[in-house]
């Protein structure tokens, strides 16, 4: 396992495990993140995992007051600590990843761009749905918005460019395609994605302090097709 450390400003350090999107590198990122959860050093404020990096935010004042001698820079001390931490990091076998099922009502008024995605790729709407459900999806990271997953593994046969005129409001729960990516919008936002369906599942629930987002980095996703009636029922039941 290769890694390097880089400062991000005067209160954070970035750990880089590679510079390309790969499941292997991302597994290392998830392993580092869960080890940080176990370690929880008192000088760490929080960390943000991404595709190939984990950025650790620390408290320089706490370190200067409790950990370092007079002239040692907190960053140098953190650098040493994190290096030691990484040298003992072990990557557990995969297979421990959760699979999260996300019910989706495809097409119709909840997925107004399904026909466009089909037409653009020379497929029927049914074929697009089929391919979207059969992808082998991995959540590489969460970013952009609370619980917004960066998902890899979509069938390139349904890849579709973003809309030229972005919509001002995309309802929360909308499932979309942008280029070779698929994603689910946790909040109502503007955006240029092609909208193919909507899930009744709550992607972000701030009242759940422990785990406010449905998806976490490292999760596998299984999209499951539901009818509009099932969508309405699940939506009501959930709220």
Which positions from 50 through 109 interact with another protein, judged by CB under 8 A? 50-53, 55, 57, 60-61, 64, 73-75
Q: How far is the CB of 130 from another protein (least distance, A)?
A: 30
Element (H, E) at 189: strand 189-191
Shortest distance, position 216 Cβ to another protein, whole Å? 8
Asked if residue 42 binds another protein (CB under 8 A), the reply is no
Residue 153 is a binding residue for another protein (CB under 8 A): no
CA proximity to 140, closest of 54, 58, 12? 54
Of residues 134 and 161, the one with the C-beta less far from another protein: 161
User: Contacts by 202-208 with C-beta closer than 8 Å and gap 24+?
Assistant: 202/173, 202/238, 203/146, 203/147, 203/148, 203/172, 203/173, 204/145, 204/146, 204/147, 204/172, 206/146
Residue where the block lists tokens 């969508």: 231
Closest distance to another protein from the beta carbon of 166 (Å): 16
CA 12 to chain centre: 21
CA quadruple 37, 40, 43, 48: dihedral, nearest 10: 0
Under the binding rule (CB under 8 A), the answer on residue 7 touching another protein is yes
145/234 with CB nearer another protein: 145
Beta bridge partners of 101: 222
Contact between 6 and another protein by CB under 8 A: the answer reads: yes
Asked if 186 touches another protein (CB under 8 A), the answer is: yes
Distant-in-sequence, close-in-space partners of 239: CB < 8 Å, separation ≥ 6: none
Does residue 173 touch another protein according to CB under 8 A? no
Q: Considering beta carbons, is residue 42 or 229 the nearer one to another protein?
A: 42
150 touching another protein, by CB under 8 A: yes
b/e map 197-234, b = 16+ CB within 10 Å:
bbbbbbbbeeeeeeeebbbbbbbbbebeebeeeebeeb
By CB under 8 A, residue 43 contacts another protein: no
Q: How many residues of this chain interact with another protein, rule: CB under 8 A?
A: 48
Looking at 2-10, 87-95, 193-201, 224-232, which segment touches another protein (CB under 8 A)? Answer: 2-10
Interface ranges with another protein (CB under 8 A): 6-12, 14, 19-21, 33, 45-53, 55, 57, 60-61, 64, 73-75, 141-148, 150, 186-187, 189, 204, 206, 209, 212-213, 216-217
């Amino acid at each position: 396992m290769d890694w390097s450390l880089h400062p991000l400003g005067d209160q954070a350090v970035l750990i880089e495990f590679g510079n390309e999107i790969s499941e292997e590198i991302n597994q290392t990122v998830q392993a580092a993140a869960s080890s940080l959860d176990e370690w929880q050093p008192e000088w760490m404020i929080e960390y943000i995992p991404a595709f190939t990096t984990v950025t650790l935010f620390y408290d320089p004042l706490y370190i200067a007051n409790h950990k370092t001698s007079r002239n040692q820079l907190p960053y140098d001390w953190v650098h040493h600590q994190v290096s030691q931490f990484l040298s003992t990091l072990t990557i557990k076998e995969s297979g421990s990843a959760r699979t999260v099922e996300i019910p989706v009502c495809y097409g119709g008024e909840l997925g107004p761009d399904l026909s466009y995605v089909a037409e653009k790729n020379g497929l029927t709407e049914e074929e697009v749905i089929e391919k979207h459900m059969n992808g082998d999806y991995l959540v590489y990271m969460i970013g952009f918005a609370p619980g917004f997953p960066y998902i890899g593994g979509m069938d390139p046969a349904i890849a579709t460019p973003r809309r030229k005129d972005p919509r001002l409001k995309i309802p929360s729960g909308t499932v979309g395609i942008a280029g070779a990516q698929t994603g689910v919008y946790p909040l109502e936002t503007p955006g240029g994605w092609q909208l193919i369906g909507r899930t009744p599942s709550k992607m972000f629930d701030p009242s759940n302090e422990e785990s406010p987002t449905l998806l976490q980095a490292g999760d596998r996703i299984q999209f499951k097709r539901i009818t509009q009636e099932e969508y309405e029922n699940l939506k009501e039941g959930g709220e």
